[in-house]
Amino acid sequence: QKEVEQDPGPLSVPEGAIVSLNCTYSNSAFQYFMWYRQYSRKGPELLMYTYSSGNKEDGRFTAQVDKSSKYISLFIRDSQPSDSATYLCAIRGSSWKGGSEKLVFGKGMKLTVNP
């Protein structure tokens, strides 16, 4: 079983829709959960990060972690054409021995929001 699984899509939605992006993971030791957004031909940029369980909200974006199910989600409300990008989840454990090189990425989900 892979450490992080993410449906690669693609996903196409109309403007204004609520978008749900998800990842599952296998290692219960993971503690830090991140979402990166990557526009075409650009580098990824950190969108949100959550430590341990719970929800975190930032404007139209909500990150949710369910550690009991080993499932993380990113919700986008009132989606806009400017949200069209690839979204990557990234997860790491709490051990500092390895440092950030142990960040494990999902394969990324390509989202298109149609006007």
| Contacting residue, 8, 10, 54, 81, with another protein by CB under 8 A | 8
Among 58, 82, 100, 115, binds another protein (CB under 8 A): 100
> For residue 66, what is the DSSP state?
E
Residue 59 contacts residue 37 (beta carbons within 8 Å):
no
Pair 86, 109: CB distance under 8 Å: yes
Strand-strand pairing, 11-14 and 109-114: parallel
Member of 42, 55, 77, 81 binding another protein (CB under 8 A): 42
Beta carbons of 89 and 35 less than 8 angstroms apart: yes
Place of tokens 């996903």: 11
Nearest distance, CB of residue 2 and another protein, angstroms: 10
Q: Find the binder of another protein among 15, 46, 53, 78 (CB under 8 A).
A: 46
Residues between 54 and 83 with contacts to another protein, criterion CB under 8 A: none
- Residues paired with 5 in a beta bridge: 24
CA 86 – CA 95 distance, rounded (Å):
28
Which of the ranges 10-18, 45-53, 56-64, 71-79 carries the binding residues for another protein, by CB under 8 A?
A: 45-53
User: Which CB sits closer to another protein, 75 or 105?
Assistant: 105
Where along the sequence are the contacts to another protein (CB under 8 A)? Answer: 6, 8, 32, 34, 36, 41-46, 49, 51, 88, 90, 92, 96, 99-101, 103, 105-108
